[in-house]
Structure 1
């Protein structure tokens, strides 16, 4: 389990740094779309390795799906803002 946690730590830190950079620019949906799947991968990996705790696994799956929902929302907001600029 320690090897899995050590392998996920750089991915978690890089995802967090990327999400913070996007949040500082005011792109909150994109920051959520970056951070939530990374957090979900950590939960799935820790839940899958521990095998006694399936709550980590399902919580990770929930974060993973929420991240893709945030990605869809960020895409939708970008498309609608682009249309409004073209109309004006």
Structure 2
């Protein structure tokens, strides 16, 4: 159990550090896409992984999905910006 808690704390600290760096650069969607899944996975592990899971598990799942959605939106915004700039250079 102590190893699981230490692992969760390490993942949380690394994810938080990465999110802070991205947020300081003004990339808020990327910061959310890093931090929300990390927070969600940590909450899911605290809630326990089983079919009849407590609300803490489901809150973690929702946060993880929101983070992956933010990551997809951030990727879509950066790819969309490149497509719009290509015809202008011709």
The structure carrying a bigger helix percent of its residues is 1
In the alignment, is the contact (CA less than 8 A) between 1:4 and 1:46 conserved in 2? no
SS of the counterpart of 2:26?
coil
Match of 1:79 in 2: 79
Which aligned runs of 4 or more in structure 1 are off by greater than 3 angstroms?
Answer: none
> In the TM superposition, what is the alpha-carbon distance from 1:25 to its structure 2 partner?
1.4
Cα 1:29/1:9, change in 2 over 3 Å: same
* Higher mean displacement: 55-64 or 23-32: 23-32
Cα root mean square deviation, aligned: 1.7
Specify every segment of 5 or more residues in structure 1 that has no aligned partner in the other structure, as ranges: none
> In the TM superposition, what is the alpha-carbon distance from 1:7 to its structure 2 partner?
2.0
* Higher mean displacement: 60-69 or 40-49: 40-49
> In the TM superposition, what is the alpha-carbon distance from 1:4 to its structure 2 partner?
2.7
Normalization by structure 1: what TM-score? 0.86
Asked whether 1:42 is paired with 2:30, we answer: no
Larger-gyration structure (1/2): 2
Mapped partners of 1:41, 1:33: distance in 2: 13
In the alignment, is the contact (CA less than 8 A) between 1:22 and 1:30 conserved in 2? yes
Normalization by structure 2: what TM-score? 0.84
